[in-house]
Structure 1
Amino acid sequence: MQFGLSESQEILKDSARKFFAGECPISEVRRLMETETAYDPDLWWKLAEQGYTGIIFPEEYGGVGLGKVELILMLEEAGRALLPGPLFSTVALAGAVLDAVGTAEQKRKYLTPICRGEARSTLAMLEAAASWDPKDAQIEVLNGKLTGEKLFVPDALVADAIVVVARNGVFVADAKDSGIKTAAMPAMDLTRKLYSVRFDSVPAEKLGNADGLAKGLDVATAALVGEMVGGMQRTLDTTVEYAKTRKQFGKPIGAFQAVQHQCADMYLETESSRSAVYYAAWALQENAPDAAVAVSIAKMYASDACRTVGNRGIQIHGGMGFTWENDLHLYYRRAKASETALGDATFHRERIARLVIDAGAAAAQGA
């Protein structure tokens, strides 16, 4: 692999940064997070025009056909801008699972309108047990009807289709069906709305190959880490700038070694997370044998790092870091929400153990 971005990838990253800075400044983020859904149709169409809603999907379905690394680069800049709304839930969550699990006809049916910006979707996975392991799903589809409840479903109120992980497969339900009841749930991240979704005999279409679910969730997890890295980078940049300008005892606080150490640790954790997720994205793109492990390593590290970067950023800002007017707490909220989404550090440590240690033991026994 190349230990650096190609020219086209650098251009994509730079153009994404400029786009999000221009179309979604922090004032717009604050406006949208005060709304019921944090969704702006005009912004959504602009995202579609840029090709972001179809960035990783094949051209035959109306997508751009780029790779997993490009997805991570785009979402890194979205995380830096604290982009609200359903882009992540539509493209990285539901879209990645549809792409990994659906048949060609199902992809044409569900991915094409997403790529065109005509539809939004989301993934319903968590239940009362709060497990991110698909094997723990209890909801079932019987005779083509879905009954049960899913919790903490992002952007469900603006979704047109809901991808549901069930005990007996992966299904798609029409989000506008009269048998679906959606209720808002409290969320740490004010820019990403969460809902409980209750299904009452809702017709559901079974997707083709449930064996691809793990790959789809790996893509979603890597995408989430990319977004987390963007948030960490913005927190670091904001904190360093503040340390250069805030004066105490007649000099900038950045001149004090204790503050420098905090900033150095923030930089270390941000860059380490970035390196981990770039490799994970490359491994997924190339179908490397260690792709699943690489994804869990990236999420495990970033789950801890995003929290500590936020902690240090707020500490260096002092009392200013806790005020509503300061933007830092918004990034900290996103970091705390992302820390547990798609599995926290403990979940992924256990997954790494299963993938590496248990698999190695099984291979040794087979030999």
Structure 2
Amino acid sequence: MDFTFTEEQEQFAEAIRRFLMTEMTPELTRELWATESGRSDALWRQLADQGMAALMVPQEQGGLGLGEVEWAPLAQACGYFALPEPLLDTALVAAALLRDALPLVQDDAARDHCTTLLERIAGGHARVAVAHPHELLVADAHVADAILCEHEGAVHLLRRDQAVLTPRAGLDPSRRLFELAWTPSGDTQLISAAAAAAAGLWDGALNRGALGVAAQQLGLTQRMLDLAIDYSAQRKQFGKAIGTNQAVKHLLADVAIQLEFAKPVLHRAASALAQGLSQAGLHVSHARVAAARCAWSAARQAIQVHGAMGYTWELDLQIFTKRAWALAGSWGDRAFHKARLGAHILDGAHDIGAGATFA
């Protein structure tokens, strides 16, 4: 079985990386920190023009009709450049949730609303926030045109004015988090709890959200590693670059090895989700744990290489370390995903130990 990306997938991912390299600069990140919303409508429009908002939207609603496999390298690129826009929440999680919910919507008006919303997402005219039960705070609800909410298992679709938003401060200035207060009603309910559970809508949203976080963490790992390598080549002590010291080389080599081992785990998780495999959640949790370990190690070692300079506001490194730390608890923390892995490994149905590795 061939798990390599196709030429078209590679070309699309490379085009996005080149676009983000030009447009998503650390200077823009700092400019957005000083704005009220922290978001750029112009950048969102550009992202949509690149086709990123339409990726998961079905072709019937003007989208590309692609899936999680295509998102794996794109989300890594979003992490590498610390993209602040809610692209993954809207175009990966919300778009897929609306797509899967559409056949289950009974009310004609609600179905038309879902269809229109998908079309607007594909065209870059709508941002959608997701209030998942595993997420205590909702990201980017302040710029969302609609908010998908859970109440006792049912799926509700709110306008922004139907919820009271209370901002909550976070570690990363680029992440805008809000506590939601809203009242469920028949007008807001889109899918009943029984139908949502049968279709696995909220489980699917959790898995896609966690996949997006894992991919971003790997992108952040690569960026922090690159910054540390560059700094170690430029910073000199006793007349030679600190990167020539074996101790520094070993720190960065350990991160690079972890990253290379985590990448195929992420791609397997994306493939399992795209194929709808029953163990997709297990693979997503494996990717999430591996990626979180990579990002934590990269942040620690990059700051170690930079020394005291690594903690300063002026260095770009802090943009990426803060994002890595902030994402650690997003879409299920490390304990949650380790528990999912442990439940599978220790369920008594699988042989464990070195001799059973390839059984």
Q: Shift of the alpha carbon at 1:210?
A: 1.1
Where 1:4 maps in the other structure, the secondary structure is coil
What's the counterpart of residue 210 of structure 1? 196
Q: Which residue, 292, 295, 314 being the options, matches 1:306?
A: 295
Say if 2:80 and 2:219, in contact at 8 Å, map to a contact too: yes
Report Cα offsets for 1:267-312 as digits up to 9, x if no partner.
1222222221111101111223432211010011212221121011
The match for 2:170 is 187
CA contact (8 A) 1:101 1:216 kept: no
What is the letter of the counterpart of residue 306 of structure 1?
A
- 1:111 equivalenced with 2:118 (yes/no): yes
Q: How much does 1:359 deviate?
A: 8.1
1:147 aligned partner: none
Q: How far does residue 68 in structure 1 lie from its aligned partner after superposition?
A: 1.0
Distance (Å, rounded) in 2 between the aligned partners of 1:80 and 1:46: 18
Structure 2 counterpart of 1:110, one-letter code: L
Tell me, yes or no, if structure 1 residue 87 matches structure 2 residue 87.
yes
Give the TM-score normalised by structure 2: 0.88
Change (3 A) 1:359 1:86: farther
- Confirm whether residue 26 of structure 1 aligns to residue 26 of structure 2: yes
The alignment partner of 2:188 has SS state of: strand
Q: Which runs of 5+ in 1 are unaligned?
A: 127-131, 133-149, 362-367
Aligned residue pair count? 337
Residue 188 of structure 1, CA deviation: 1.3
Gaps of 5+ in 2: 105-110, 351-359
Matches within 5 A, 1:344-359: 344-358=333-347
Shift of 1:356: 4.7
Q: By how many angstroms is 1:200 displaced?
A: 4.0
Kept after mapping to 1: 8 A contact 2:218/2:294: no
Match of 1:13 in 2: 13
Distance change >3 Å, CA 86–CA 228, structure 1 → 2: same
Q: How does 1:193-272 map to 2 (within 5 A)?
A: 193-200=176-183, 203-207=187-191, 209-211=195-197, 212=200, 213-272=202-261
Q: Of 305, 321, 340, which aligns to 2:329? A: 340
Identity of aligned residues (%): 32
Letter of the structure 1 residue corresponding to residue 157 of structure 2: V
1:43-122 alignment runs, 5 A limit = 43-103=43-103, 105=111, 107-122=114-129
The offset of 1:201, in angstroms, is 5.8
In structure 2, distance between residues paired with 1:336 and 1:161: 28
Q: Which moved more, 1:229-238 or 1:83-92?
A: 83-92
- Aligned Cα root-mean-square deviation (Å): 1.9
- Name the aligned partner's letter for residue 154 of structure 1: A
CA 1:44 to 1:323, structure 2 compared with 1: closer, same or farther past 3 Å? same
* Match among 139, 149, 154 for residue 139 of structure 2: 154
1:285 aligns with 2:269: no
- Higher mean C-alpha displacement, 99-108 vs 35-44: 99-108
Q: Is the 8 A contact 1:61 1:107 kept in 2?
A: no
- In the TM superposition, residue 107 of structure 1 has moved relative to its aligned partner by 4.3
- Work out whether residues 94 and 122 of structure 1, in 8 Å CA contact, stay in contact via their aligned partners in 2: yes
Q: Which moved more, 1:79-88 or 1:198-207?
A: 198-207
How far is the alpha carbon of 1:205 from its aligned partner?
2.4
Find the aligned partners of 2:57 and 2:184 in 1 and give their Cα distance. 31
- TM-score normalised to structure 1 length: 0.86
Q: CA deviation at 1:313?
A: 0.5
Q: Give CA-to-partner distance per residue, 1:231-270, whole Å, 9 cap, x none.
A: 1111111111111111112211111111001000111222
Letter in 2 for 1:8: E
In structure 1, the partner of 2:311 is: 322
